[in-house]
Amino acid sequence: MGVHHLAGKPAPKEILVNVQALIDAYYSLHPDMNVASHRVSFGTSGHRGSSFSYGFNEDHILAITQAICDYKKELAIDGPLFMGKDTHALSEPAFRTALEVLAANAVTVMIQEGGGFTPTPVISHAILDYNRGRQSSLSDGIVVTPSHNPPEDGGFKYNPPSGGPADTNITAWIATRANKILEGRNALVRRIPFERAIKAPTTTRYDYIGPYVEGLSSIVNMNAISSAGLKLGADALGGAGFAFWPHIAQRYRLDIELMHGKADPTFSFMTVDHDGKIRMDCSSPYAMAGLIGLRDRFDLAFGNDPDFDRHGIVTKTGGLMNPNHYLAVAIEYLFTTRDAWRKDTSVGKTLVSSSMIDRVAHSLNRQLVEVPVGFKWFVKGLIDGSLGFGGEESAGASFLRTDGTVWTTDKDGIIMDLLAAEMMAVRGKDPSEVYHGLEAQFGTFAYERMDVPASPAQKAVLGKISPELIPKGELAGDAIQSVLTEAPANQAPFGGIKVITGEGWFAARPSGTEDIYKVYAESFKGAEHLKQLQEGARDLINQAFVKAGLVR
């Protein structure tokens, strides 16, 4: 798929979302339960959709929230529920709807004092903090966010007492229950007016900022950053964490310039992403073009997506870092500086992340734990300390405190930003320069993700593909060594396929929201060989479609 002519340019007015129309559609449009796209469906990060397309409307949030209340009752999860929202236009109305149901079900809800916004990692941090040492009356959470999705989208996700993304068995229970409620026209939903819900004795104002900011010194060497006197640029991209940066700067005496530090539900300040859409993807050089253009103003700069679970690191020497490059650098730095971590603490990565991470882990004599896409696979290891770091190629990661205990079990963009600053303060090199050192040691790898158009039928085949559908032989001139449909660490199906040779690999997975499949490819030889891998990947997938009886 080609790059749109607007990519990297300021968003023109004509593509900005009509916020009032979007909110009107949230309340006025009702899903048809006979249409698959109108039903509740939890992906790797909750239920997402747009009110314009009947995918994220008040009916959905009423049903999902009631289903969560039913789930909590079923499992006797009766501690407080920590609820946050990001700055997308649909997040506020969905937040209000959810509170009406939670209050009617007598659920104690902790909301940001002053009605502010709360990042995903801060909700995870609050859940874990509350549950530490408890065996009963455990807390859980809801975050109203579609992450980096376009401004017209809404999202709603549930975090159980483990603090991280809900496992598949939980989301399947909630989605099934929610769809049953929707089929009954929400007759089973308990609800009170918002004016009563916000004043209910179960609705509690909570300071999310203070405890999180104060705790940062337990996971990042904040004194080192302060002493180095670095000039830092923080582009909040109008997201949920913009109010946190001034508190962090004041508490730790840091020189931070905040950009886009207020909510704009149209995200009109953004530069357009690769496909001509506004998308707050802090790993995209097109969406981050504004901050990249300012890189010489700072020693180090970083951006985050609307719920602050992802990070984008911008250096003077390299511009926006490839997420895989920064993950590799972060792992190398953490496992050589965190002396209190257990000697058997492992490195976690998703199987579509760079093999540079494999090389780094091996050089550190650390076990590599390779799992399917989805941060939920890292939750248990972060809680018990067997994983020191868990990271995804899509620029999301978290890691342990310096004493080897859990910080969050969801991705945390803030600590990844600050870790880059710590690294620069301690080593005197920015993360791009550190990565060049890894290339000198392990070689130069070429990595890229691309999108390929696919029909729903083709996506269905790819999502449940068998290795037998991939012809044996060569890929990009090298013998195919293995074909995987399950993750090496836990033998869990990952809904796609990975083909590995001695000189590179590719993986392919269907998109859950668009008529495309994603191809991740990496060459150990260079850019030209990467193109051959990508071409070979498309050819092998097309052959699989032919074998499955689908026309190309």
- The CA-based angle 50-55-58, given to 5 degrees, is 90
Q: What are the beta bridge partners of residue 499?
A: 483, 506
Bridge partners of residue 498, in order along the sequence: 484, 507
Locate the DSSP E strands across 115-230. Answer: 140-144, 153-159, 203-206
| Axis crossing angle, helix 413-427 with helix 323-337, rounded to the nearest 10 | 60
DSSP state of 10: B
**Tokens found for residue 2:** 């080609």
Separation between Cα atoms, residue 450 and residue 161, nearest integer Å: 36
Per the residue annotation, which of 50, 51, 139, 147 is the catalytic one?
147
Residues 31, 38 contacting (CB under 8 angstroms): yes
Determine the Cα–Cα distance for residues 493 and 371; give it in Å rounded to an integer: 9
Token readout for 118 is 């709360």
Report how far apart the first and last C-alpha atoms of the chain are (Å, whole number): 16
Rounded to the nearest 10 degrees, how much is the dihedral formed by the CA atoms of 316, 317, 321, 327?
-110
How do 516-523 and 446-453 pair as beta strands?
antiparallel
Q: With H, G, I as helix, E, B as strand and everything else as coil, classify residue 308.
A: coil
Known active-site residue 45: no
Tell me how far CA of residue 333 lies from CA of 69, 178, 318, in angstroms: 42, 44, 18
Question: In the block, which residue shows the tokens 């809800």?
Answer: 109
Token pair 């006025």: residue: 28
What does the alpha-carbon distance between residue 552 and residue 533 come to, in Å, rounded to a whole number? 19
The owner of tokens 């409307």 is 57
How far, CA to CA in Å, does 437 sit from each of 225, 445, 524?
22, 13, 16
DSSP 337-360: H-TTS-TT-EEEEETTS-THHHHH
- Contact predicate 369/489, CB 8 Å: yes
- The b/e string for 185-219 (b: 16+ C-beta within 10 A; e otherwise) is ebeebebeeeeebbebebbeebebbeebbeebeeb
Angle between helices 413-427 and 431-442 (to 10 degrees): 80
C-alpha to C-alpha distance for 107 and 99, rounded to whole angstroms? 9
- CA dihedral sign of residues 145, 146, 147, 152: negative
Residue 518: phi, psi to the nearest 5? -100, 130
The neighbour count for residue 13, using CB atoms within 10 Å, is 8
Q: How far, in Å, CA of 167 to CA of 160, rounded?
A: 9
**Centroid of chain to Cα 65:** 22
Looking at the annotation, which residues are catalytic?
Answer: 147
